[in-house]
A = this chain, B = another copy of it.
Amino acid sequence: MKTKTLGELAEHVGGKVVGDPNIVITAAATLEDARGGEISFLANPKYRKHLKSTKASAVVVKQVSASNSALLVVDDPYYAFTQIVILMYGHRRHKPMGLNANASIASTANIGEKTDVHEFAVIADHVQVGRRCVIYPGVYIGEGSVIGDDCILYPNVVVYDGCQIGNRVIMHANATIGEDGFGFATHKGTHHKIPHIGQVVVEDDVEIGASAAIERGTFSNTVIGEGTKIGDSVVVGHGTVIGPHCLFVPQVGIAGSTTIGSHCVAAGQVGISGHIKIGNRVTMGAQSGVISNLADDSVVFGTPAFNFADAKRALLALRTLPELQKKIAVLEAKLSKKETKT
């Protein structure tokens, strides 16, 4: 880890110092945990109250506020803080390994320069792995799959045969790419397996979480668009196409043959039906069940999902329902009494 002065950090992120630029910053931490010499950030307004009590020597903020700490003022505090953390700590460093003698690499496989293949990894026939990749122990890459440059496959990741993985893709431990989809032809009560002749295409800069599972397409490919991030235990169904720069938070499930645009966000445990079309910049609240097409810029919630604000209002109103039942009974009784009278 490198120490930096606050002034150096400000220069690195293009921000403005309020306070002493010569403070030496030794570590990064949250507002609550930071101690003297450390830098923190304020991005979520919920934590504004900590700005006064934090022991951080400096805080990255969007707006100048009363604080005992020096401030580093930028337009996008979390992004600037991310740049600072990268500068000071760097990303995970991987032990140089070369092609470990205990890895099993097919003679027909093609491994790029400076790629590390750890012990007990298996690289099958006709696989291509690009340059500067890290293939951790226990990884399996199936026949004919292609992995780009600068990818990291953490331990026990499994990539089935014939998948196409872009550059700078990160796959976390125990993730599975390209397993057969949940596709069966049910005939007279028996489910017949259909060969999945489609593949999985993972574009550049995608990150895939631990124990996530991306099914291969039945006929056409399953696609994860450039820069999209997939959380732990997410399941993507066969033939689904996810556009670029989406965020699919852990435990989201997407059925097959659905098309999703760019910059969509699905919060935790969202379920998305198959054979639908979701536009660009759509936001789906946690646990929503999305069962029909959604236009660009939709913000939805609930099951079946609809407009977020209305859904939230309706779900909160639900709490009053037993009381409404009673009110209606009272109204009916009163009115019926009136009718009897008249």
Q: Which of A3-11, A15-23, A27-35, A127-135 contacts B (4 or more CB under 8 A)?
A: A27-35
Q: With A33-B219, A155-B158 in contact, is A211–B195 under 8 Å at CB? A: no
Q: A219: which of B28, B124, B193, B253 is its contact (CB, 8 Å)? A: B28
Q: Which of A119-152 contact B (CB under 8 A)?
A: 119-120, 122, 124-125, 136-138, 140, 143
Contacts of A286 on B, CB cut-off 8 Å?
271, 273, 289, 291
Collect the chain B residues with CB atoms within 8 Å of residue A155's CB: 122, 140, 158
Q: Is A250 an interface residue (CB 8 A)?
A: yes
Distance (whole angstroms) from the CB of A290 to the closest CB of chain B: 10
Interface centre among A125, A182, A227 (most CB of B within 10 A): A182
Please report the C-alpha to C-alpha distance between residue A233 and residue B263 in the assembled complex, in whole angstroms: 26
Chain A stretch 50-80: residues in CB contact (< 8 A) with chain B: 76, 78-79
CB distance from A50 to the nearest CB of B (A): 12
Query: Digit string of A308-330 for contact with B (CB within 8 Å is 1, else 0)?
Result: 00111111111111101101100
A138 and B136 contact, Cβ closer than 8 Å, known pairs A287-B271, A316-B304: no
A90 touches B (CB below 8 Å): yes
Interface size (A, Cβ < 8 Å)? 120
Closest B-chain residue to A76, C-beta based?
B187
The answer to whether A249 has its CB under 8 Å from any CB of chain B is yes
Residues in B with CB closer than 8 Å to A12 are none
B250 touches A237 (CB 8 A): yes
How many chain copies does the complex carry? 3
Q: Name the distance in Å between A218's Cβ and chain B's nearest Cβ.
A: 8
Residue contact A269 to B268, C-beta cutoff 8 Å: no
A251-285 near B? 1/0 per residue, CB < 8 Å: 10101000000010000110101010000000000
0/1 interface trace, chain A 329-342, chain B, CB 8 Å (1 if under): 00110110011000
Inter-chain CA distance A155–B104, complex, in Å, is 14
| A190 interface neighbour in B137, B245, B291, B324, Cβ under 8 Å | B245
Does A213 sit at the interface, judged by CB under 8 A?
yes
Check A220–B89 contact: CB distance below 8 A.
Answer: no
Q: Is A46 an interface residue (CB 8 A)?
A: yes
Q: CA of A175 to CA of B233 in the docked complex: distance in angstroms?
A: 11
Q: How far is the CB of A226 from chain B (nearest CB, A)?
A: 10
Compute how far the CA of A170 lies from the CA of B194 in the bound complex, rounded to whole angstroms: 13
Contact, CB under 8 Å: A235 / B263? no
Q: Are B154 and A179 in contact (CB under 8 A)?
A: yes
Q: Does the CB pair B79–A187 fall under 8 Å?
A: yes
- Smallest beta-carbon distance A46→chain B, Å: 6
Residues of B with C-beta under 8 A to A291:
286
Q: How many whole Å from A31's CB to the nearest CB in chain B?
A: 10
Question: Distance in Å from the Cβ of A88 to the closest Cβ of chain B?
Answer: 9
Q: Which of A154, A197, A235, A332 has the most CB of B within 10 A?
A: A235
Q: List 20 A-B contacts (CB under 8 A).
A: A78-B185, A90-B195, A95-B125, A104-B120, A119-B120, A120-B138, A158-B173, A172-B180, A174-B174, A179-B232, A182-B250, A271-B286, A286-B291, A287-B287, A287-B289, A302-B318, A310-B322, A311-B319, A317-B321, A320-B325
